[in-house]
Amino acid sequence: MATMVLTVAGTLIGGPVGGAIGGMLGNAIDREILFKPKGREGPRLSELKLQTSSYGTQIPKLFGTMRVAGSVIWATDLIEHRSTTGGGKGRPGTTNYSYTASFAVALSARAILSVGRIWADGKLLRGAGGDWKARTGFRLHLGDEDQAADPLIAAAEGVGMAPAHRGIAYAVFENLELADFGNRIPSLTFEVRADTGAVSAGAVLVELAGGDVASGDTTTALAGFSAHGASVRAVAETLAGATGAWFRSDAGPLALLRGEGEAAALDDLSVRARTREGGAGRRAIAAADSAPRTLTLTHYDPAREYQSGMQRAGRPGAGTREARLELPAAIDAGAAKTIAEAALARMDGERERRSVSMGWDRIGVRPGERVTIAGTAGLWRVDRWSLEAMVLQLECVRVNWGAPAAVASGGRVLAAADVTIGETVLHAFELPAIDEVLSSAPRLAIAAAGTGAGWRSAALLSSVDDGAHWTEEGATAPAAVLGEVVVAPGVGSAALEDRVNAIEVALAHDAMLLGDADAMALDAGANLAMVGEELVQFARAAPLGGARWRLSGLWRGRRGTEAAIGGHAAGERFVLIDARALAVRPLSMGAIGSTFRVLAQGVGESGDAAESEAPITGRGIVPPSPAHFGAEILGDGSVQLNWVRRSRIGWRWSDGMDAPLGEERERYRIFVTPEEGNAWTVELAAPGMLLPPEIRTSALHVAVRQSGTHGLSLPATLSLPAIGDA
């Protein structure tokens, strides 16, 4: 007589066994289509690491939250952009070239809800808060069955020629700037949220099987899962092997079972009464070394930005075999350790098998059925079913339903920095003579930073005609340390250290730092800051909490800016002078007397651009005002005026001799203004002047200005009383 043999694995191929053989065979075709046994190659973790663009590449179905590389399904050629910065008003221009690309990346063959972080070449391109680290346009298509074609693809391919990719979730990048990626499309990975929370392994299998698997009782929660591979069967076997689930053959869909539950009782007394041999159930135990001694589980660890994690489980006893299980699911280290230990325990427990002979009236006991065997402890499941000579032969294995929750660590996390960019803060000002370079034209200094520590740069525009025309100025320098004055300093001396006044400033964000400097460091130029229009150095910087600092030990009026000592107010700019953090633009002489307007907009900013105005006076190309301006009244009533010239390139005074002139010739212009009478002017070639007594009939106001190559210095002034009033 013919023998029919069905196993649990066989039901996945040849059909489930129901209450009758006819019911079992009637469902065989569906099982053949669903779980046709090609090469058993399940999903692997390595397939999610690299972005592809090859025809025929499989697009995974994503569940929960997963990180996926995706496949490039459409792209343009690199687009070259040419821009000229500077120029105009006699300034030289610089031509720069940059490159962008537009492309689309398929993410999931199942609808998704959103995309979180995006990595480009391992670095964050988009943060968890949705902020972009590089300039790009971005659109996300969720994979609905009624989604329309992307407008960019439709415009490039033509109306009616652009597929909508319905049922495929994909992202479109428009003009992604490639300067940070070597002028090529970077390798992108995406954090994709396909469901509102964790998903169960059973729910994943039920959806993938499309009605051929009934809802099971598996409770293994997965933060995310990527379903891909040669067949649904391959995915099913991967999940079942990891979670300890199995299938039971029913007349309808396969039932997914796991652990304890309702069980059919097998009574050996009934066996002896109905079978020819009358034998009892038989027990077989394989050698201990036939089961793996260690098992390694690889998975995706959400705590490590969904990078691959690995957990190992071991058992005591004989054996040298090692097993490896790749689970393309997002689970934490503790859950992975628990799964590994439970899987190893099941493999060891399944060495024991029980064979039971039953009468044909127990044909309803199906492959995959939970059973108990009389006289034998524990819960068993039917692994193999055969019918011969009206005798039902059942081969059973022990059910091991889990292991205690394990505690494990995924290892050190080296996550990509996700710092917010914030809004651009911009300060533009005419640069005083802060170095020993003899300038022949005014210079515009632009300092910028963001309200977040992730700010890197911003695009610049400038205008000299009140916004009628704008000129591209390229990009800002790296982030400067800047902010605004909260408590302004009072009047002080430029000749002595100001130990009375202090400045309180609020920096752009609390990651910016200031430090102390001793006298030697200050003499070398440390801690130089533009406070309003005055250059100030500070010896001590005390943090007040958050981004606020108190600056004391002030050296005032540095580099010839003492005229601004008395003009401070809260809310004015504070910029720490660092040549690396300043974008310096040379201007033409024709710019003197005009006001430069500067706009800056950083990556990801959607609001109005930051704006700053800088009046250009030419103060960086004229000599500083004369120093030590004084008057000596002589016995005959005449007045000897004395002063010492200063140089815009002689600040170091390294040799103790006279500072270099720094101008084409030494000239001075003296302005004498009596309270009564007409003002008059004298030009001299050397410092010093004698005022005769006859001009002192009323009080005098005297100002001296050095005449430089490009203009007059600011004045040094004093007042003289009339003769008889002194």
Based on the fold, state whether residues 24 and 117 are members of the same structural domain.
no
Q: Return the minimum-mean-pLDDT range out of 27-36, 178-187, 274-283.
A: 27-36
Domain-embedded: residue 216: no
Give the residue-averaged pLDDT of 714-720: 92
Based on the fold, state whether residues 37 and 126 are members of the same structural domain.
no
- Residue 10 pLDDT greater than 70, yes or no: no
Of 412, 446, 461, which residue is a domain's last? 412
- Residue 590 pLDDT greater than 90, yes or no: no
More confident residue, 469 or 275: 469
pLDDT at residue 281, rounded to an integer: 64
Q: Could you tell me if 429 and 396 are in contact, meaning their C-beta atoms sit under 8 angstroms apart?
A: no
pLDDT at residue 234, rounded to an integer: 84
How confident is residue 16, by pLDDT bands cut at 50, 70 and 90? Answer: very low
pLDDT at residue 280, rounded to an integer: 46
In CATH, what number is assigned to the domain containing residue 697?
A: 2.60.40.10
Based on the fold, state whether residues 537 and 470 are members of the same structural domain.
yes
Domain-embedded: residue 381: yes
Domain-embedded: residue 289: yes
- Residue 7 pLDDT greater than 70, yes or no: no
- Distance of alpha carbon 494 from alpha carbon 560, whole angstroms: 9
CA 718 to chain centre: 59
pLDDT at residue 400, rounded to an integer: 78
Based on the fold, state whether residues 451 and 375 are members of the same structural domain.
no
**Domain of 263, in residue numbers:** 1-45+246-412
Residue with tokens 């632009």: 446
- At 583, which helix (H) or strand (E)? strand 583-586
- Residue 275 pLDDT greater than 70, yes or no: no
Tell me: the pLDDT tens digits for 113-139?
999 999 998 889 998 888 888 889 999
- Residue 492 pLDDT greater than 60, yes or no: yes
pLDDT at residue 159, rounded to an integer: 79
Give the residue-averaged pLDDT of 574-599: 91
Based on the fold, state whether residues 521 and 387 are members of the same structural domain.
no
Domain-embedded: residue 117: yes
pLDDT at residue 23, rounded to an integer: 35
Domain-embedded: residue 620: no
More confident residue, 483 or 657: 483
pLDDT at residue 615, rounded to an integer: 93
Strand, helix or coil for residue 560 = helix
- Residue 568 pLDDT greater than 80, yes or no: yes
Strands 254-258 and 213-214: parallel
pLDDT at residue 262, rounded to an integer: 86
Give the residue-averaged pLDDT of 397-409: 75
Based on the fold, state whether residues 366 and 442 are members of the same structural domain.
no
- Residue 12 pLDDT greater than 50, yes or no: no
pLDDT at residue 44, rounded to an integer: 58
- Helical packing angle, 232-243 and 333-349, nearest 10°: 90
Structure tokens at 550: 């108190």
Domain-embedded: residue 236: no
- CA nearest neighbour of 106 among 150, 84, 154, 74: 74
- Residue 613 pLDDT greater than 60, yes or no: yes
Give the residue-averaged pLDDT of 627-636: 91
Of 135, 157, 186, which residue is a domain's last? 186
Distances (CA, A) of 688 to 109, 138, 263, 629: 88, 70, 115, 9
Based on the fold, state whether residues 14 and 153 are members of the same structural domain.
no
Burial 48-70 (b: 16+ CB within 10 A, else e): beebbeeeeeebbbbbbbbbbbb
CB atoms within 10 A of CB 390: 13
- List helix spans (H) across 467-565: 519-523
Distances (CA, A) of 152 to 96, 187, 692: 26, 21, 83
Q: Return the minimum-mean-pLDDT range out of 10-19, 281-290, 411-420.
A: 10-19
- Distance of alpha carbon 613 from alpha carbon 464, whole angstroms: 10
698: Cβ–Cβ under 8 A, 6 or more apart, which residues? Answer: 674, 675, 676, 677, 722
Looking at the 3D structure of the chain, how many domains does it have?
Answer: 4
- 557: phi > 0 → left, psi -120 to 50 → alpha, else beta; which? left
Where are the extended beta strands (E) located within 90-148?
Answer: 91-108, 114-120, 123-126, 137-141
- Residue 534 pLDDT greater than 90, yes or no: yes
Q: In what order do the strands lie in the sheet with 213-214?
A: 213-214, 254-258, 245-248
- Residue 274 pLDDT greater than 50, yes or no: no
- CA nearest neighbour of 688 among 633, 625, 623, 630: 630
What mean pLDDT is reported for the chain?
Answer: 84
Based on the fold, state whether residues 156 and 93 are members of the same structural domain.
yes
Based on the fold, state whether residues 354 and 316 are members of the same structural domain.
yes
- CA nearest neighbour of 259 among 246, 273, 275, 274: 246
pLDDT at residue 9, rounded to an integer: 41
Tell me: the pLDDT tens digits for 415-455?
777 788 889 999 999 988 887 778 888 999 999 999 988 88
Give the residue-averaged pLDDT of 92-102: 80
Structure tokens at 345: 């325990």
- At position 60, the amino acid (one-letter code) is P
Structure tokens at 157: 């391919």
pLDDT at residue 29, rounded to an integer: 31
Strands 294-301 and 322-330: parallel
Tell me: the pLDDT tens digits for 29-79?
333 333 444 444 556 565 445 566 667 788 999 999 999 998 999 999 888
Residue 417 burial by CB count (10 A; 0-12/13-18/19+): exposed, middle or buried? exposed
Based on the fold, state whether residues 488 and 569 are members of the same structural domain.
yes
pLDDT at residue 139, rounded to an integer: 96
- Residue 700 pLDDT greater than 60, yes or no: yes
Of 378, 412, 446, which residue is a domain's last? 412
Domain-embedded: residue 238: no
- Residue 620 pLDDT greater than 60, yes or no: yes
Dihedral of the CA atoms 248, 254, 260, 261 (nearest 10)?
Answer: -100
606: Cβ–Cβ under 8 A, 6 or more apart, which residues? Answer: none
Based on the fold, state whether residues 378 and 250 are members of the same structural domain.
yes
Domain-embedded: residue 197: no
- Residue 653 pLDDT greater than 80, yes or no: no
Based on the fold, state whether residues 40 and 82 are members of the same structural domain.
no
% of the chain surpassing 70 pLDDT: 87
Tell me: the pLDDT tens digits for 288-339?
777 888 999 999 999 888 988 899 998 888 878 888 988 999 999 888 898 8
